[in-house]
Amino acid sequence: MKKLSSGLLALVVLFSLCVAAASVHAQEVGASTVEFPYTGNRTAVWVVAQLHILFAAFILGAPIFVVISEWLGYRKQDPRYDRLAKEITKVTVILFSMTAVTGGLFIFVLLAAYPQFTTSFVNQFYMVFAVLYPALFIAETILMYAYLYTWDVWKGEKKGRHIALGVLLNLVCLLILFVINGPTSFMNTPPKAEGVSPQDFIAAATLWDKIANQSWFPLSLHRIDGNVAFGGFIAGMIAAYMYMGAKTQEEKAYYDWMGFAAIWIAVGGSLLQPFTGLLLAYEMCDYDFSFCPYMMADQLSMFFEMQGMMIGLLFLAINYYSWLSVKRIEGAENVRMTILAPIVLVVLLPVTMWVMNSYWIPDPMSLAFLLPLTLSPFLLGRFIPQTVSARTVIKIGFIVMLVSDAVWLTPGGFVATGTDMPDELKLPEGWDYLASMPAKLSAILTLVFVTVVNYVLYNRTIKQGTILWGKIDFVSQFVLIFLAFVSTWTMGLMGAVRSLLKKYFHTYSLVSDLSAESFTPTLSYSAWWITAITVFFIAIVSVAALVALRPSVSKVREPEGSPVPVGVK
Amino acid sequence: MFKKLAIGLVVGGVLAGFAHSQEVPFDFQKLFFIIALIGAIVFMLLDARPVGTMSGGKSAFAVTAFWVLLVTVCIAGASLLPQFDPADERAKIDKLLGKERAASQKGKAEELIARAKALDEQVKALEERLKGLGGGQAATASQAPSVGDKPSSTAGASGGGGGDFMKVGEEQWQLQECYNCHKLRGEGGKKRGPELDNIGSLLTVEEIQQKIADPKSFMAEGYEKEWQKGIMPNKFKDLMDPKEMQALAAWLGSFKNTSVNTPKPIKKN
């Protein structure tokens, strides 16, 4: 209950800060701002906001992950899923306090750095910040603690009731996500109408108009699947730590399994990420086309080059983990797959590039080519007698992934901005299709397809062989840590990109950022801060995991002996 | 292990060599070579012998070392890529926000003056009351200059007054980054918008201004899709003042290079 009260206290502090900000600064229009030492105001806000988003992403994503796991345990009658769900909930509860603390700190830093903007922004969304968000946060806190503390009470026949409570918790989490994404997306794409000035339109707009802006729904979708993936990768890292510290073979087997389960739930979210991300980018470009060149060809182009590298590494690592998992399955060498699988793997990238250049998705013609091609190994495979070993398919998949990465990483030119690119740095004609959007989409689609094929193959191997839990190559634990690092770093990078898209505005085209810091920082500068944020976040999560899970693996305490009177010895 | 590394080096070398023969810039050759090397590392890892379980202390050391490696690779990777010089953008933003910043400073100064004046009024009222009470001591206080009487040091925005009108137009072309979509004088543009070297022969200055203020007012021939999608942002009337927009239109109107095939604008509304 101490945790509950400290969480509520943090919330009260946050709420009072909001209200105080709205009332005090409304009277002091010309209030002077604070200058944060070393970082400057913009970076200070960015660092705290990004930290808050990472903690929030985990506490909103983990319950989805947890309830899926609990439900799987209930359905399969496998207690490991239940234990996994409970352990992650324990960590989530600790990180819940960190979310509230960083949230309060965020408001505080924002108020100190940009008092006038913060005041007007809070006033725009007063109902959200003063009523809806705190109410939902309190509801989430109560449900989260109820969910944890009823775990051992509502079991057996009452398990369904507990899962229902988990679902309710998730509904509240989703509501929070949708509600808070309103103001966040508003800053990028405030609603507008033709023939009316943005200021006049906003002055007349309702709260719903402001929340349901153009990037609100795609951002929420992107964050939902992102949070599931993120929750999974972080759970994978926790499993790796616990595996490394496990003393018994039984514990090793359990944490080996936990890493495996966490990663496959994360992969489910990751496979959707590129598509919801593209939807978000599409809506942003549709709102204002100048976002598009700014992202892809101008100041942020090398940020996307870095993103390509990180996503490429993420997919390579996921599939490498899958390979290591297959290696410890007895009988894996006998598993075979239709020859159509490697054929489709090889031809998918060039065919998709050709199709996307001719018919843009969702043109029915593009789907008419791509759907039968990608489904053919699964639908027609059984009618073709020629087969290939599972290992060969996976190795071909790796070559295809490397080629796709190369396509994804090929820009129009290796320059910081494409606006005044010298000819000698440009891709020559005939090669420039590699830098086109259809090529990038084809590369993503191919990476996703290879991962799906590996997943199918892995499932087939499990059915035909015997998994030796706890016997996985020790390197796999470093892969799990790597995945958590890369996904956190990429989230930090893309968070910076989304925020930088506002250019020199606090709210795009509506409220200018008049400070001297309202410019795009270099990628190198951003990378230092993103790395610092990632390291800090992962260090906190690691400590939380050790605090929450250590008792369950610690030695059973020796029973204390009966008190011995002083002086007897 | 060395065999795979050798294969990676050979594949990378062939790729880079082929790219070189096709006059692909050196950075791309490096990219292809690095990816081939990563491929070699991946295949070395795939067939590497399993690593046995490490003890607690050893794993803690290995994890720390791994973290240091990850941090180094991420920072180094990002720092090795070409870096955008913020000074370029800052110069632009200074020009774009100059007037707003000046107005904000002026607003703050005016507020301070207003407060000082209010204080001055209070002092005067107090003085009158003291005089009414028969005291002459307050007279000295009134001789002190009030803050409100100080000459304002607020620098007014120059607004380009007296400057070259055409230069203002060209500056707006750069500041609003029109070159991102339109090609002009052989520079910029990615086929998102029409090439504008002959726009002065096809539209009057007033019509160009109308098109900038309301992108739906004209449609360039062959750009039906872009026009329907509203690719050209409808924001420039809010970002430029009428004079700046007029200058941009006048500057664009001076481009009458008939050798360039600027698509014919069609009046829409």
- CATH architecture type of domain B165-267: Orthogonal Bundle (1.10)
Measured between beta carbons, the chain B residues lying within 8 angstroms of A509 are 235, 238-239
Interface test with chain A among B53, B174, B228, B240, by most A beta carbons within 10 Å: B53
Tell me which residue of A339, A327, A285 sits closest to A461, measured CA to CA.
A327
Ranges in chain A, pLDDT < 50: 1-5, 8-9, 11-32, 553-569
Residues with Cβ < 8 Å from A307, sequence gap 6 or more? A490, A493, A494, A497
Which of the 8 DSSP states describes residue A506? E
Per-residue pLDDT averaged across B40-66, rounded? 91
Sign of CA dihedral A103, A108, A110, A113: negative
Half-sphere exposure (CA, 13 Å, Cβ side) for A461? 26
Check residues B224 and A17 and name the one with the higher pLDDT: B224
- What is the DSSP annotation of A111-137? HHH-HHHHHHHHHHTHHIIIIIHHHHH
Nearest residue of B to residue A409 by CA position?
B31
Nearest residue of B to residue A473 by CA position?
B50
Query: What does the pLDDT read at residue A15?
Result: 46
Question: Which amino acid does the sequence have at A359?
Answer: Y
Are the beta carbons of B46 and A526 separated by less than 8 Å?
Answer: no
Measured between beta carbons, the chain B residues lying within 8 angstroms of A299 are 84, 89
Measured between beta carbons, the chain A residues lying within 8 angstroms of B54 are 244, 474
What is the tens place of the pLDDT at every residue in B235-253?
888 889 899 999 999 999 9
Residues with Cβ < 8 Å from B180, sequence gap 6 or more? A290, A293, A294, A297, A298, A419, B188, B189, B190, B192
- Read off the tokens for A207: 């709260």
Tell me which residue of A291, A299, A273 sits closest to A219, measured CA to CA.
A273
Tokens 């009177």 correspond to: A565
Dist. CA A488–CA A151, nearest whole Å: 29
The answer to whether A479 and A321 have CB atoms below 8 angstroms apart is yes
What is the tens place of the pLDDT at every residue in B176-192?
889 888 989 888 776 78
Q: Please identify among residues 289-348 of chain A the ones whose CB lies closer than 8 Å to any CB of chain B.
A: 289-290, 293-294, 297-299, 302, 305-306, 309, 316, 320, 323, 327
Are the beta carbons of B45 and A286 separated by less than 8 Å?
Answer: no
Q: Please identify among residues 456-475 of chain A the ones whose CB lies closer than 8 Å to any CB of chain B.
A: 473-475
Nearest residue of B to residue A323 by CA position?
B46
To the nearest whole Å, the CA of B165 is away from the closest chain A CA by 25
Question: Domain-by-domain residue ranges, chain B?
Answer: 1-47, 100-141, 165-267
Dist. CA A546–CA A242, nearest whole Å: 8
From residue A523, give the alpha-carbon distance in Å to each of A284, A468, B29: 22, 44, 22
To the nearest whole Å, the CA of A387 is away from the closest chain B CA by 22
Which of B77, B101, B111 faces A514 most closely, judged by CB atoms? B101
The answer to whether A7 and A100 have CB atoms below 8 angstroms apart is yes
Measured between beta carbons, the chain B residues lying within 8 angstroms of A489 are 74
Which of B101, B104, B177 faces A290 most closely, judged by CB atoms? B177
- The alpha helices in A150-288, defined as continuous H runs, are 159-188, 198-204, 207-211, 216-245, 249-287
The answer to whether B83 and A302 have CB atoms below 8 angstroms apart is yes
Per-residue pLDDT averaged across B164-170, rounded? 90
Q: Please identify among residues 2-31 of chain A the ones whose CB lies closer than 8 Å to any CB of chain B.
A: 29-30
Interface membership of A509 toward B (CB under 8 Å): yes
To the nearest whole Å, the CA of A40 is away from the closest chain B CA by 15
Inter-chain CB pairs, A–B, below 8 Å:
184
SS3 of chain B: the string is: CHHHHHHHHHHHHHHHHHHHHCCCCHHHHHHHHHHHHHHHHHHHHHCCCCCCCCCHHHHHHHHHHHHHHHHHHHHHHHHHCCCCCHHHHHHHHHHHHHHHHHHHHHHHHHHHHHHHHHHHHHHHHHHHHHHHCCCCCCHHHHHCCCHHHCCCCCCCCCCCCCCCHHHHHHHHHHHCCHHHCCCECCECCCCCCCCCCCHHHHCCHHHHHHHHHCHHHEEECCCHHHHHHCCCCCCHHHHCCHHHHHHHHHHHHCCCCCCCCCCCEEECC
Measured between beta carbons, the chain A residues lying within 8 angstroms of B45 are 320, 475
- Read off the tokens for A81: 């899923």
Are the beta carbons of B28 and A414 separated by less than 8 Å?
Answer: yes
Query: What does the pLDDT read at residue B163?
Result: 54
A115 φ/ψ angles, rounded to the nearest 5 degrees: -60, -40
- Read off the tokens for B161: 């007054």
Dist. CA A385–CA A159, nearest whole Å: 46
What is the tens place of the pLDDT at every residue in A423-432?
888 898 888 8
Is beta strand A466-467 parallel, antiparallel or unpaired with respect to A329-330? antiparallel
Dist. CA B126–CA A331, nearest whole Å: 99
Query: What does the pLDDT read at residue B190?
Result: 67
Q: Which residues of A312-346 are buried (b: 16+ CB within 10 A; e: fewer)?
A: bbbbbbbbbbbbbbbbbbeebeebbbbbbbbbbbe
Query: What does the pLDDT read at residue B127?
Result: 78
Question: Which amino acid does the sequence have at A325?
Answer: S
- What is the DSSP annotation of A275-316? HHHHHHHHHHHHH-TTHHHHHHTSTTHHHHHHHHHHHHHHHH
The answer to whether B51 and A503 have CB atoms below 8 angstroms apart is no
Half-sphere exposure (CA, 13 Å, Cβ side) for A68? 16
Find how far residue A507's CA is from the centre of its chain. Answer: 24
Find how far residue B208's CA is from the centre of its chain. Answer: 24
Cα radius of gyration rounded to whole Å, chain B:
33
Q: What angle, 0 to 180 degrees and rounded to 10, lies between the N-to-C axes of helices A115-124 and A159-188?
A: 120
Q: What is the dihedral of CA A396, A397, A399, A400, to 10 degrees?
A: 120
The answer to whether A39 and B120 have CB atoms below 8 angstroms apart is no
pLDDT of residue B147 exceeding 70, the answer is: no
The top-scoring range by mean pLDDT among A145-154, B149-158, B159-168 is A145-154
Measured between beta carbons, the chain B residues lying within 8 angstroms of A323 are 46
A537: left (phi over 0), alpha (psi -120 to 50) or beta: alpha
Which of B82, B96, B107 faces A415 most closely, judged by CB atoms? B82
pLDDT grade, residue B107 (50/70/90)?
A: low
Nearest residue of A to residue B235 by CA position?
A509
Nearest residue of B to residue A412 by CA position?
B28
pLDDT of residue B225 exceeding 90, the answer is: no
Cis check: omega of the bond before A362, within 30 degrees of 0: yes
For chain A, how many residues are written? Answer: 569
Measured between beta carbons, the chain A residues lying within 8 angstroms of B110 are none
Query: What does the pLDDT read at residue B143?
Result: 42
Dist. CA A425–CA A423, nearest whole Å: 5
Measured between beta carbons, the chain B residues lying within 8 angstroms of A514 are 97, 100-101, 104
To the nearest whole Å, the CA of A391 is away from the closest chain B CA by 10
Which of B24, B75, B229 faces A531 most closely, judged by CB atoms? B75
